[in-house]
Amino acid sequence: MVMRLFQSETVLCEGVTFAQFCILDHAASRGGRIGLSDLHGLLSVEKSTTTRMVGPLVRRKLMEKATSAHDSRAIDLVLTEKGNEMHEQVWKCLSGFLEGVMRRIPGDRRHEVLDALGIFIRSIRRCCGENAGGACDCE
Amino acid sequence: MVMRLFQSETVLCEGVTFAQFCILDHAASRGGRIGLSDLHGLLSVEKSTTTRMVGPLVRRKLMEKATSAHDSRAIDLVLTEKGNEMHEQVWKCLSGFLEGVMRRIPGDRRHEVLDALGIFIRSIRRCCGENAGGACDCE
DNA sequence: ATTTTTGGTTGTGTATTACAACTATAATGA
DNA sequence: TCATTATAGTTGTAATACACAACCAAAAAT
């Protein structure tokens, strides 16, 4: 079972939706270049959906399509200058929000909370079979 | 900004979707009866959507429509016997899943993790202005 | 008594997806 | 090497999930 968050077209920040930010971020975390086909898995969507999700980013010149080095069918998405700036901008906006959340956690417990959150998320992941097919069988 | 989880029609358990379970659960937690109009807010959807989400539950006789005591326009949803059983069934299934997650958290930290999770969620809520209009302004 | 507001339904448009069909390239294998 | 099969991406289409608007009936306000 796939669980998606923030899938609406609603703009998150700077005219970028959450899904779009995810794509920018995945690219950024890999040095600004990512194979289109890698995105299917990362976003848990069909390849046709990936095509369509990437569209607006390319149209707005936040990313560029480049043919992959070793496979002329495959496409790499490359962060443009503008895309990089946008990514940082949105990150700033997001961390602003996170800071707000943090401010509401008693100072002496912040570390504990973040730590516990990590444990919880990893537990769910392991319980759901990580990337392997759903061992998360609810019958 | 509205954030929705598990909105797909995908069956969660026992032929009940997550949204349907939420409705059953809200009713159950209020003694088996809930005003249809209360659901709009609880589910964060338009009233037209509520109407449509409730449809299948009524058709499957998990809930019944009853005219509200003090307003002949308003409708109350009442859990049927069957609906109550279904609710418990799905709860069992869900807690089975949660147990699986818990088993993967070191025993001596379980309490801490749950505790921290509560703090985190409350912080987000307060940060986003609880039920008041979005103070969660990202900008 | 008339007007306005509110609860619910239905009609309709838009967005988000998956699935299938198709093209082009790559890999396999006889 | 040539035929087969697999893979990358795009486009067409259908299903779903929702909001918004128009509507009716009942309630509240004037």
pLDDT tens digits, one per residue of B37-56: 999 999 999 999 999 999 99
Q: What pLDDT is attached to residue A130?
A: 54
Q: What pLDDT is attached to residue B133?
A: 36
- CATH code of the region A11-106: 1.10.10.10
Burial of A91: CB neighbours in 10 Å, binned 0-12, 13-18, 19+: middle
Handedness of CA A120, A121, A126, A129 (dihedral sign): positive
Query: What is the rounded distance in angstroms from the CA atom of residue B22 to the CA atom of residue B19?
Result: 5
Q: What pLDDT is attached to residue A139?
A: 25
What are the tens digits of pLDDT across the range B90-100? 999 999 989 99
Higher per-residue confidence, B101 vs A133: B101
Query: What is the rounded distance in angstroms from the CA atom of residue A88 to the CA atom of residue A108?
Result: 29
Q: What pLDDT is attached to residue B15?
A: 87
Query: What is the rounded distance in angstroms from the CA atom of residue A105 to the CA atom of residue A23?
Result: 30
Query: What is the rounded distance in angstroms from the CA atom of residue A22 to the CA atom of residue A10?
Result: 14
Q: What are phi and psi of A86, to 5 degrees?
A: -60, -45
Under a CB-based contact definition with an 8 Å cutoff, are residues B96 and B90 in contact?
no
Q: What pLDDT is attached to residue A6?
A: 73
Q: How confident is the model at residue B25 (pLDDT cuts 50, 70, 90)?
A: very high
Q: How confident is the model at residue B138 (pLDDT cuts 50, 70, 90)?
A: very low
Return the minimum-mean-pLDDT range out of A110-119, B8-17, B71-80, B100-109.
B8-17
Q: Is residue A83 over pLDDT 70?
A: yes
Q: Is residue B86 over pLDDT 90?
A: yes
Q: What are phi and psi of A97, to 5 degrees?
A: -65, -45
Q: Is residue A132 over pLDDT 60?
A: no
Mean pLDDT across A127-131: 66
Q: Is residue B137 over pLDDT 50?
A: no
Q: What pLDDT is attached to residue B6?
A: 74
Strand C contacting residues by CB (7 Å): A 2, 4, 7-10, 17, 19, 44-46, 48-49, 52-53, 70-73; B 35-37, 40, 47-48, 50-52, 54, 65, 68, 71, 73-75
Mean pLDDT across A21-45: 95
- Chain A residue with CA closest to B97: the answer is A138
Q: What is the mean pLDDT of chain A?
A: 87
A3 contacts B3? CB cut-off 8 A: no
Q: How confident is the model at residue B130 (pLDDT cuts 50, 70, 90)?
A: low
Query: Residue B39: enclosing H or E segment and its boundaries?
Result: helix B36-43
Mean pLDDT across A16-45: 95
Mean pLDDT across A40-47: 94
Query: What is the rounded distance in angstroms from the CA atom of residue A34 to the CA atom of residue A55?
Result: 15
Q: What pLDDT is attached to residue A85?
A: 96
Query: Residue A94: enclosing H or E segment and its boundaries?
Result: helix A81-103
Residue-range domain boundaries for chain B:
11-98
Query: Residue A19: enclosing H or E segment and its boundaries?
Result: helix A18-28
Topology adopted by domain B11-98: Arc Repressor Mutant, subunit A (1.10.10)
Return the minimum-mean-pLDDT range out of A114-123, B3-12, B61-70, B115-124.
B3-12
Tokens linked to B20 = 């349907």
Query: Residue B52: enclosing H or E segment and its boundaries?
Result: helix B47-59
Q: List Cα–Cα distances, A58 to A61, B29, B119, in angstroms.
A: 5, 48, 40
SS3 state of residue B31: coil
In angstroms, what separates the C-alpha of B20 from chain A's closest C-alpha?
A: 16
Under a CB-based contact definition with an 8 Å cutoff, are residues B33 and B77 in contact?
yes
